[in-house]
A and B are shown apart, each in its own frame.
Chain A
Amino acid sequence: MIPDLGKYADTVMWSYVVSIALLVALIVFSVMRGRKVRAEMEKVEQRMTRNG
C-alpha cells in the first residue's frame, strides 16, 4: 500500500506526520474554542433576555 520511499522513508513520513498533526491540532483547537464560546454566548444571551 505505502509506496517504496527508499532510504528517505523516515524523512518523508515524519514531515507528513508533523504537518498533518499540526493542521489537525489547529482545526481541533479552533473548533473546540468556537463551540465553547458559542455555548457561553447562548447562556449569557438567555440570561439577559430573562432578566430583561
Chain B
Amino acid sequence: MSIAAKANALWEYANPRKFLATSERVMPFFWITSIACIVVGLIWGFFFTPDDYKQGSTVKIIYLHVPAALMAINCWLMMLATSLVWLVRRHHVSALAARAAAPIGIVMTLIALATGAIWGQPMWGTWWAWDPRLTSFLILFLFYLGYVALWEAIEDPDTAADLTSVLCLVGSVFALLSRYAVNFWNQGLHQGASVMRAAAVTGADTEEKVSNIYFYPLLLCMIGFVLLFIALVLYRTGTEIRARRIKALLARERVNG
C-alpha cells in the first residue's frame, strides 16, 4: 500500500470512529426523550383532547399525520444537505448518513399518506384525491424509492455515494418544480376541489384551525418525531459505517491473500 493510500485509509477510519464514539454517547438521550415525547404527546392527544366540532374524533389523527409529513420533508432536506457535504468535502459519514436516512423518509411518507387516506375517507368521502398536497407526497415517495433503489443497485460504495448525491440534487430541483406544477395542474382541472381543500386539515389550514388545546400535544409529538428521526439516523449511520468497514476489511483480506 502506498503512503497516499495509507493516509487516505487512515482519514477514512478516523472520522467515522469519532462519529461512532460520539453518537454512542448521545444516542440514549435521543432515544429516551423522543419516545417519551411521542408517548406523552399521543396519550395526551388521544385521551385528553376534545373532539373537533366539525371533524369529530378524527382530529386525533393530526398527532401522527402532521409530524410524519413534517419529517418526510425534513428528511429529504437533511439528505440534500449531507449529499452536498459529501460532494464538496468527501466526508464518508455524510454520504452514509444520507443513505441511512432514506428508508426513514420512506416510512414517514408512508405514514403521512396512510393516515391521510384513512382520514380522508370519512372527511372527503374518498381514500385518495389528486389534491396538490397528496400528489406532491406521492411524487416524494417515488423519489425516495428511486434513491434507495439506486443505492442498492450499485456495487462500489463511492460510486453509489456520488451518483445518489447527484440524483438527490437534481431530484430536489424537480421535486420543487413538481410542487408548483401540481398546484397549477389541480387548479386547472378541479375548480370544485376548493371545497375539499378547505376541509383538509393540513399545513396552512392547520395554522388557523388548530387551537391551543390541540396545539400543545401536537407540538410535543412533532418534537418527539424530530428526536426519533435524529436517534434513528445516528443509529442507522453507525450500522452503515460498520457495514462499510466489514466490506473494506474483507477486501483487504482478499488482497493480502
Which chain A residues have a beta carbon within 8 Å of chain B's beta carbons?
3-9, 11-12, 14-16, 18-20, 22-23, 25-27, 30-31, 33-34, 37-38, 40-41, 44-45, 47-48, 51
Contacts and interface: CB of A to CB of B under 8 A. Distances in A.
Contacts of B122: 8, 11
Interface in B15-68: 42, 46-47, 51, 56-58, 60-61, 64-65, 68
Nearest to A32: B239
Contact of B243 (A3, A23, A37): A37
Contacts of B56: 5-8
B233 to A, nearest CB: 10
A18 B103 CA distance: 17
Given A15-B114, A16-B46, A44-B250, A26 B103 contact: yes
Interface of A is mostly: helix
Contact of A37 (B64, B111, B239): B239
Contacts, number: 95
Contact of A11 (B46, B51, B118): B118
A22 B236 contact: no
Contact of B58 (A11, A25, A33): A11
B75 to A, nearest CB: 12
Given A8-B57, A26-B103, A34-B238, A19 B115 contact: yes
Nearest to B65: A15
A11 B242 contact: no
In this complex, which of A15, A26, A33, A45 has the most chain B Cβ atoms within 10 angstroms of its Cβ? A15
Given A19-B68, A19-B115, A44 B47 contact: no
Given A11-B121, A26-B232, A34-B236, A40 B246 contact: yes
A18 B111 contact: yes
Contact of B118 (A14, A20, A23): A14
Given A5-B57, A11-B58, A22-B110, 4 more contacts: A3-B47, A16-B42, A41-B245, A48-B252
Q: Chain B contact residues (Cβ within 8 angstroms of A): what range?
A: 35 or more
Interface of B is mostly: helix
A5 B122 CA distance: 14
A19 B47 contact: no
A38 B242 contact: yes
Contacts of A30: 232, 235-236, 239
Interface string B227-238: 010001001101
Given A22-B114, A45-B249, A15 B64 contact: yes
Nearest to B42: A16
Nearest to B120: A11
Contacts of A27: 232
B143 to A, nearest CB: 18
In this complex, which of A7, A27, A33 has the most chain B Cβ atoms within 10 angstroms of its Cβ? A27
A41 B20 CA distance: 14
Interface string B120-158: 011000000000000000000000000000000000000
